[in-house]
Amino acid sequence: MSKERLQLQLDAEGVYECSDTGLVFEVSQRVKITYCVLSWSRFSTYLTGSWKFAGPIFDVDCDPAILKSIQFPHSLCLAADKDNEVNFSVLHVKNSRGLIEPSSDHSGSHVKWTVSSLSPVGPVVQTSRSAEHHGVVQVFRELGLESSSFSFRVYLARNICSDIKDIRKAVRRANNCKNNKKYILVDKPPTCMLEENRKYRLISEPVGHITPEDMLFTPDSVEVKGYIEVFFEDSPPFKLSLTDADSGQTVWTSTIREGDCTHHVEEMPKRPTKGTKRHSSTSDDELSYKRSKKTHAVDEPDCNAVAVAPALTDQQLMRVAKHMGKEWKIVAISYLGFSNQNLEEMEAAEENATMLKFTMLERWRRRQPKGKAGVQELHNSLKDNDDVPNEVIAVLDEMLHNK
């Protein structure tokens, strides 16, 4: 609904989980529930002493006589709580007053609360220890840069649905800005442990331009916390490591390889054409082979050379994406090896229809073995299938003809 509010229509008694936020509702009969995630920054003054945030705070609107209980997602790590010292409760804000109400149960992922009345409410925990959260580090690559430079956005968040959705909303906003910048998720293992109100530092090999130097991990929204920008004027691989700014301990590390950020160079046409310039990807092996031929001035017949087909460029993938219609999901699952879950994850991160199809095709390109992500391979996967639009095949045919 408008203003980021969600609406859930439940048709019968039962327990239901919202896949978008992780909230679990227990209802006694048919009912309609509306709800949204709020920012903890508005309610932080209600917590004093050893009370800490444990998960998102929500504004839920429903008949409390029908809504029997709510389970709130939390991100706290309970593995170290061998003495059961973690005491979960719920902060319930009523009439501009913050009340701490007891929870009825908790698990490794949720805190259960018996509904009394409804207003802003969210899970909190009372502990003398530092609040350690299951966290995620998500990396997004900027598209369309020159081949000699690479730029990334790095986000830190709790490993819960609403925080990850918050990141994707921020990226969608960036993709819709008028500065023409576009970002795409770099698929890397994201999970780590992050301690609340502790500073973390991102370091890289080779050394890149990193701003800001340190970031404080808080339960605030991504809009408040922002992101870390990393810029390289080198070629991949890039090793990124997140460290505790005080102790220097590494909490997360990942390597971004060439396949994660396809390297494009300009391909000169053999003869003049009226079309626009095309770009293709050239592997390190090809460049080395060409340099070797030039250096040693060896004339070798073309038939003896082992050519590695250049991968489809971002520009070519975008041309294909623009010609795909509503059947793109059927094409992705039936012929390009994606699962429905893969597509749901992409849809959660990108709202623009064309960019969504581009993201799917770009991920297909990354999945292919070296030399198997070219025009011919995509054409072979899609041709002679009734679900594939004729316009898509026509574009690929044209690319093959102009190759």
**pLDDT tens digits along 17-62:** 998 888 999 999 999 999 998 877 778 788 888 888 888 889 999 9
- Phi, psi angle pair for 213, to nearest 5°: -70, -40
What pLDDT was estimated at residue 291? 39
Q: Return d(Cα 113, Cα 208) in angstroms, integer.
A: 47
Kindly give the pairing relationship between strand 14-17 and strand 24-27.
antiparallel
Q: Look at residue 306 in the predicted model and tell me its pLDDT.
A: 43
84 Rama sector, left if φ>0, alpha if ψ -120 to 50, beta otherwise: left
Burial of 343 (0-12, 13-18, 19+ CB in 10 A): middle
Task: Judge residue 349's burial from the number of C-beta atoms within 10 Å of its C-beta, 0-12 exposed, 13-18 middle, 19 or more buried.
Answer: buried
- Structure-block tokens of residue 113: 């609360």
How confident is the model at residue 309, as a pLDDT?
Answer: 66
User: Hey, what amino acid is at 143?
Assistant: L
Q: Specify the pLDDT at position 320.
A: 92
How high is the pLDDT of residue 292?
A: 40
Tell me how far apart the alpha carbons of residues 378 and 319 are, in angstroms, rounded to a whole number: 13
CB 203 within 8 A of CB 241: yes
* Cα distance between residue 195 and residue 219, in whole Å: 10
Are 363 and 350 a contacting pair, CB within 8 Å? Answer: no
Residue among 186, 191, 123 nearest 156 (CA): 191
> Which residues of the chain are under the pLDDT cut of 70?
2-3, 80-85, 220-223, 262-309, 403
Closest CA to 368 of 295, 402, 317: 317
At which residue do the structure tokens 């529930």 appear? 33
Locate 7 and state its tokens.
């609406």
Residue 11 to residues 14, 16, 28, 29, 274, Cα–Cα distance (Å): 9, 11, 10, 7, 60
Residue 363 is predicted with a pLDDT of 87
Nearest to 35 by CA among 68, 4, 70, 6: 6
Residue 100 corresponds to which tokens in the numbers above? 């701490």
- Three-state SS string across the chain, please? CHHHCEEEEECCCEEEECCCCCCEEEECCCEEEEEEEECHHHCHHHCCCCEEECCCEEEEECCCCCEEEEEEECCECCCCCCCCCCEEEEEEEECCEEEEEECCEECCCEEEEECCCCCCEEEEEECCCCCEEEEEEEEEEECCCCCCCEEEEEEEEECCHHHHHHHHHHHHHHHCCCCCCCEEEECCCCEEEEECCEEEEEEEECCCEEECCEEEECCCCHHHHCCEEEEECCCCCEEEEEEECCCCCEEEEEEECHHHCCCEEECCCCCCCCCCCCEEECCHHHHHHHHHHHHHCCCCCHHHCCCCCCCCCHHHHHHHHHCCCCCHHHHHHHHCCCCHHHHHHHHHHCCCHHHHHHHHHHHHHHHCCCCCCCHHHHHHHHCCCCCCCHHHHHHHHHHHHCC
- pLDDT of amino acid 389: 85
